[in-house]
Homo-oligomer: A and B are copies of this chain.
Amino acid sequence: MSCINVALLGFGTVGKGVYQSINSHQSRLEQVLGKRVRVVGILVKDLEKHKQSKKDGLVLTDSFEDILAISDLHVVVDAIVGCEPGNVYLKKAIEKGCHVVTANKEMFAHHGEELLALAKENGVTIGFEATVGGGIPVIQTIKQLLQVNRIKKVEAILNGTSNFILTSMRKEGHSFDATLKLAQQNGYAESDPSNDIEGHDAFFKGLVLSQLIYGKTPENHTTSRRGIRSITADFIERASELGLRFRHIVTLYKENGQIHCQAEPALVSSEHPFYQVEGVQNGVSIDTDLVGNIQLNGPGAGMFPTASAIIEDIIQINRPVPAAPSFVEFQEEAEESSKWVLFSDKVDIKLPYVSKVLARRTDKTLVVETDNIEEILTENPLVTCFSLKGGYLHTPEKVTI
């Protein structure tokens, strides 16, 4: 079976996620592509630190020239941060005839236009799904699945760190500084958090979307960028009393022929789709002229969500047309929910064995968690029962009957 040879630039969280996922999903990749996918080179900063990753058939190096020298290199995956040297590396890779997949939003926000032009010239493709919305397939949805639809406006939560801080401040009632510190301790914020909390990261992602939707980035004077640093615990509390939640939102639209891109904190009511996009989640709301509004929500960052975006991009570059069906491989199994709401019209509900009662309004309305709902229903033939989806923290109560 022939191979698709991949080099990884960077072997941090994202690079390692791609490496592991290619290995764990090798048989699936073979089924979809009809080819093996092989990591043949990894560019690292510190060779000593990564020496345990050394193995036969893999070029592990701190010099990009060694990566470029690999014969039969098909795809270069950019998993480093910052404009340079990523930009120069990708230019050289494209000129060598390699396809490129990048997760580097800052670089792609600034150099996407020229890189796309260079790729076209050289007959190769650039995948950049991982630059926006982490694992949410927002780039490919706009590019492939909304081709006839005209996009009128995009609103998006694109920075998981900011959303985590805003969510956590509201839930815990702590100050911005204390919450940021907590986020840093938990790995949700960098030691230098300015890229996230000043809105740069979200704004870069807005620029990538602009490039995708409008073919170019907006002029400076029709953009604005504000981070969440000014959001105080007092603001959050007063907003909550109004029934509102803070979100950091990128808004992208065209007016009078000008592209506008705003990245700033805003408030959402419970009627807005972003009201429930909490923690490190991202959310994208797309207004089009045919479908109307559709929303995509999911993990905005993380090792495997980002790896997913990169590997699905490798598929898009290399896939035979039409795509192989998704059911070729055995699909993993899932567990069923075990939370239930019980309603009785007349008689009290009797719990026949040790159960966890999550909430009890009266003895005719209970929320229980159990692995044996059948037994409860057998003992209570007059009870109506519904499964309960989602977490449940409403007046918790634990009893043993």
Contacts and interface: CB of A to CB of B under 8 A. Distances in A.
Interface of A: 21, 25, 28-29, 32, 125, 135-137, 140-153, 155, 212-216, 230, 235, 238-239, 241-244, 246-247, 249, 253-256, 264-276, 287-299, 302, 304-305, 307-309, 311-312, 315-316, 319, 321-329, 331-334, 336, 341, 343, 359, 361, 365, 367, 384, 386-394
Residue picked from A290, A332, A336, most chain B C-beta under 10 Å: A290
Q: Which of A145, A312, A316, A391 has the most CB of B within 10 A?
A: A145
B230 A334 contact: no
Given A143-B325, A235-B384, A266-B389, 6 more contacts: A25-B150, A136-B291, A148-B311, A155-B389, A272-B391, A291-B304
Oligomeric state, in number of copies? 2
Contacts of A21: 148, 290
B331 A150 contact: yes
A236 to B, nearest CB: 10
Contacts of A214: 327, 331
A38 to B, nearest CB: 15
Contacts of A290: 21, 25, 135, 304-305, 307-308, 311
Given A147-B324, A322-B125, A266 B331 contact: no
Given A215-B327, A311-B290, A326-B213, A141 B141 contact: yes
B254 A388 contact: no
A156 B214 CA distance: 32
A269 B341 contact: no
23 contacts: A135-B291, A135-B292, A137-B294, A140-B144, A144-B144, A151-B326, A151-B331, A152-B332, A152-B333, A214-B331, A246-B386, A254-B333, A254-B334, A255-B334, A267-B341, A268-B390, A271-B390, A288-B308, A290-B304, A290-B307, A290-B308, A291-B298, A295-B297
